[in-house]
Amino acid sequence: MPIRLFASDLDGTLLSFSGDTAASQRFSAAWQAVPVGERPLLCYNSGRLANDLREAAHKGGLPPSDYLFGGVGTTLVDRNGRIVREYQEQFRPGWDRSLVVEVLSSIKGAKRQPERFQSPFKSSWFLLNASAELLAEIRERLRTVELDVTVVYSSARDLDIVPAAADKGNAIRWLCDHLGYSLNEVVVAGDTGNDSSMFRLPNINGIAVGNAREELIEATAGCRVLHTAAPEADGVIEGLTHYGVFAKA
């Protein structure tokens, strides 16, 4: 089936951690070269908050998106820059950010990230090299106070606590339901563990870029995923060529 939606992480995927925008611009040129009537919708799906996400994409030379999910799937913004309130309303039951902060403040080594990384439905922390046992303990403490949340840990440092229904994968599922798209009409791309929920959606097509962390490789074993040789945006180009979005050179 033709691809109707492409959803991608930004940092380490479409944007280089080095700050070099050359590969991002190559992606933009390839994207713009697809005829408008054949081009999928473009969605950015990032842990960054929405305004920061939009600014980072622009500075990196990426094309404007049709939709963007910010804050690990907690906020949806449409192509006109409007927050889709209908999407956020699903997160209210079982969520209390002040209670999340109270629980995480008791975890040794956890340090709250700066306010610019926080949002009404996301509590973000630094926690270096957390073990599986510590993450399990955090989940149990949150359950004990009757919070219905998801614990997202990536890059051996970044800990995000979000409502249970809010992760990158559920975000894509909601958008596809909203648009009337099937998941096998979607390609997703990423590089770290917090992208894995997108890849685990049934029948979805994945691109794990060449610099993908082992945490993503392990979490997506058995999924329909292409592991590219090229890193970052060049890997995305390789992947979208494989899936027939971009023409072969």
pLDDT at 47: 87
Q: What is the DSSP letter of 204?
A: -
The architecture CATH gives domain 90-163: Alpha-Beta Complex (3.90)
Amino acid 227: pLDDT: 97
CA distance 145 to 209: 38
Say which residue the tokens 């969605």 belong to.
43
Q: Are 122 and 71 in contact (CB under 8 A)?
A: yes
Size of the chain, expressed as the number of residues it contains:
249
CB 208 within 8 A of CB 199: yes
Series of mean pLDDT values for 10-residue runs along the chain (249 residues): 95 95 98 96 94 94 96 92 92 94 97 92 96 97 95 91 92 96 98 94 98 95 97 98 93
Residue 78's SS3 state is strand
Give CA–CA dist 147/143, Å, rounded.
Answer: 5
- Write phi, then psi, for 72 (nearest 5 degrees): 55, 50
Question: Where along the chain do its domains lie?
Answer: 90-163
Q: To the nearest 10°, the Cα dihedral for 219, 225, 226, 232? A: -60
